[in-house]
Structure 1
Amino acid sequence: MVMLLLKCLLLFYLSFNELTTAAEAILWVKTGEKFTRKCSTTLKDQNGMFLYVGLDREVLYYYQRNSKLTPREGYRDRVKTEGPVDQLTITISNLTIEDTGFYRCIYTKYNETTYENDINQGRGSTLVVVNANEKPCPSGVVNVIIISILTILLCVIFLIWVAPRVKRCCNFG
């Protein structure tokens, strides 16, 4: 029960995190299952596409020129792709709890003169929560967490913004 509550709190926190403003979906999957992520771009002449989980853990790199897929350690033999790089569908199979996180696609355009990426583009992210047998957070628990966080936030706003103004007002009188 404690782990379920911690997962609910993590999910709630991440839902207000900057990374989730473009979140497309939250997927709840069991260990051993698979999930599919669709990546697309309007970027022209891109060199390739990275799939990341979390802030910086690279899952794979797909090189446009030779259609070469390079899965990173821990993802080899579990990743498959379909379609052209600008409309790529990626499937990761045999998921483990360590695969939980935000998955996002980043398209790159490499400048051969400066040897740097000129453009990075990506749209949306997918939160994948991998668990063994537990069900997703019950809506009642999520509602209690939301109400609690909002109450704390309102108290902080009151203390930071309203209380000093009231004190200044009372000092003038």
Structure 2
Amino acid sequence: MKLLHWFSLSLCVCVNAENNVVWRESGENVTLRCSSAGCSSSIEGYDGMYLYHDHKERRQVLYYHLNEGGTDQITLTPSFKDRTQAGGSLKNLTATISKLTVKDSGFYSCVFLKFKGRDVQCSVYTLFVRGAAQCSNSTEALCALCDEKSPSLVLIIVAACTIGTLLTIIFILLVVPRVRRWTSSRRSMAGVLHQVSNDNVYEVMTKNAAETALVGPHDCA
């Protein structure tokens, strides 16, 4: 079951090119950067930005917005306020979270938004914090990822990506040529059948014309 969770998470990391994987030990710090450079589209005209943490549920880490005076303001949620330092502008904001624990492991995403409801997700991070933790059944997989005694997830990620690449190469080298040959043979067979059909029609028409010529007008009378 643990290997299944590892493979699933590895696949998510592999297919997401914008995902930045970060490893830390318990008690260390991590700095996450929310930058417009990590967005797939322009954020011109956007009004604010959320930094979210997704583990068992989505939690807000901070909210960047403009106050009534039009100046920048960063609001930290209570669970991160005492151990998070944040600063910068809307297009380039950094947040440093200190005294990390296993519970801080998960996905972090920067979501830029407009007040009219439009938003765009940028700069996605996957944070693994290694250390001991009490795990329930629902969090066993994530704790196992962060346990120092568990196998290295880096090797599993590399293996998953390598296997995926090899399967793609095998498919291209073996399956695709066979499909092409089958398609080509079907076309060739269809051409042969069409030619045989035309020849039969021509032979019947020729035979009928010859019989008509032999009978002649006097025979008909």
After TM superposition, is the score higher than 0.5? yes
Partners of 2:88 and 2:94 within 8 A in 1:
yes
Number of the residue aligned with 1:127 = 126
Alignment partner of 2:61 out of 59, 62, 86? 59
Number of the residue aligned with 1:167 = none
Name structure 1 gaps, 5 residues minimum.
112-116, 152-173
Number of the residue aligned with 1:81 = 86
TM-superposition CA deviations, 1:127-165 (whole Å, max 9, x none): 000112717436279638x86xx99xxxxxxxxxxxxxx
SS at match of 2:16: helix
Cα separation, partners in 2 of 1:103 and 1:140, compared to 1, 3 Å: closer
Cα separation, partners in 2 of 1:123 and 1:43, compared to 1, 3 Å: same
User: Which runs of structure 2 are paired with 1:42-57 in the superposition (5 Å)?
Assistant: 42-54=42-54, 56-57=58-59
The letter of the residue matching 1:27 is V
Number of the residue aligned with 2:155 = 139
Cα separation, partners in 2 of 1:71 and 1:141, compared to 1, 3 Å: closer
Deviation at 1:49, TM superposition (A): 0.6
Deviation at 1:75, TM superposition (A): 0.4
Structure 1 CA distance for aligned equivalents of residues 89 and 158 of structure 2: 39
Partners of 2:14 and 2:157 within 8 A in 1:
no
TM-score by length of 2: 0.53
Cα separation, partners in 2 of 1:141 and 1:48, compared to 1, 3 Å: closer
SS at match of 2:81: coil
User: Which runs of structure 2 are paired with 1:1-173 in the superposition (5 Å)?
Assistant: 6=2, 9-17=4-12, 21-41=16-36, 42-54=42-54, 56-64=58-66, 65-111=70-116, 117=117, 119-132=118-131, 134=148, 136-137=152-153, 139=155, 143=159
TM-score by length of 1: 0.65
Number of the residue aligned with 1:168 = none
55-64 or 30-39, which moves further after superposition? Answer: 55-64
Number of the residue aligned with 2:214 = none
Structure 2 CA distance for aligned equivalents of residues 138 and 44 of structure 1: 37
Q: Which has the higher relative contact order, 1 or 2, with Cα contacts under 8 A spaced 6 or more apart?
A: 1
SS at match of 2:153: coil
Name structure 2 gaps, 5 residues minimum.
37-41, 132-146, 168-221
Cα separation, partners in 2 of 1:108 and 1:95, compared to 1, 3 Å: same
Cα separation, partners in 2 of 1:94 and 1:46, compared to 1, 3 Å: same
Partners of 1:12 and 1:142 within 8 A in 2:
no
Partners of 1:81 and 1:91 within 8 A in 2:
yes
Number of the residue aligned with 2:174 = none
Structure 1 CA distance for aligned equivalents of residues 28 and 112 of structure 2: 27
Question: Percent of aligned pairs with the same residue?
Answer: 31
SS at match of 2:31: strand
